[in-house]
Chain A
Amino acid sequence: MRTDRYSIVSLLRETVRGHTGWKPAWRDAAPAARYDVIIVGGGGHGLATAFYLASRYGIRNVAVVEKGWIGGGNVGRNTTIVRSNYLLPGNVPFYEQSMKLWEGLEQDINYNAMVSQRGVLNLFHSDAQRNAYVRRGNAMRLHGVDAELLDAGTVRRKLPFLNFDDARFPILGGLLQPRGGTVRHDAVAWGYARAADRLGVDIIQNCEVTGFLTEGGRVTGVETTRGPIGAGKVGLACAGNSSRVASMAGLRLPIESHVLQAFVSEGLKPFIDCVVTFGAGHFYISQSDKGGLVFGGDIDGYNSYAQRGNMPVIEDVCEGGMALMPRIGRVRLLRHWGGLMDMSMDGSPIIDRTPRDGLYLNAGWCYGGFKATPASGLCFAHLLARDEPHAVATAYRLDRFARGAVIDEKGMGAQPNLH
Chain B
Amino acid sequence: MRITCPCCGERGLDEFSYRGDATLSRPAGDPPLPGAGAEAWAEYVYLRDNPSGPHRELWYHGAGCRSWLVVTRNTRTHEILDTERAVNVVRATRKDAEA
Contacts and interface: CB of A to CB of B under 8 A. Distances in A.
B99 interface: no
Given A305-B52, A305-B75, A402-B38, A254 B46 contact: yes
Contacts of B51: 243-244
A378 to B, nearest CB: 27
A255 B75 CA distance: 15
A305 B20 contact: no
A154 interface: no
B77 interface: yes
Interface in A209-263: 241, 243-244, 247, 252-257
Contact of B46 (A304, A305, A306, A345): A345
A304 B78 contact: yes
Contacts of B55: 303
A417 to B, nearest CB: 8
Contacts of A247: 49
Interface stretch (B10-18, B25-33, B81-89): B10-18
Interface in B40-63: 42-43, 45-52, 55, 57, 62
B7 to A, nearest CB: 20
Nearest to A345: B46
A310 interface: yes
A401 interface: yes
A303 B42 contact: no
Contacts of B20: 256, 303, 414-415
Contacts of B78: 304, 306, 308, 310
Interface residues of A, number: 27
A419 B39 CA distance: 28
A252 B47 contact: yes
A364 to B, nearest CB: 11
A8 interface: no
Interface in A350-376: none
Contacts of B77: 306
Nearest to A414: B20
B97 interface: no
Given A303-B75, A415-B19, A415-B20, A252 B42 contact: no
A311 B16 CA distance: 13
B46 A419 contact: no
B38 A302 contact: no
A312 interface: yes
Interface string A301-327: 111111010111001000000000000
Contact of A303 (B13, B14, B43, B57): B57
Contacts of B57: 302-303
A310 B18 CA distance: 14
Interface in A97-131: none
Interface of B: 1, 12-14, 17-21, 38-39, 42-43, 45-52, 55, 57, 62, 73, 75-78
User: What 7 A-B pairs come out closest when comparing CB atoms?
Assistant: A243-B50, A402-B42, A312-B14, A254-B46, A401-B46, A305-B52, A252-B47
Given A243-B51, A303-B75, A305-B52, 18 more contacts: A243-B48, A243-B50, A244-B51, A244-B52, A252-B43, A253-B47, A254-B48, A256-B20, A256-B21, A303-B50, A304-B78, A306-B76, A310-B13, A312-B12, A315-B14, A401-B45, A415-B18, A415-B19
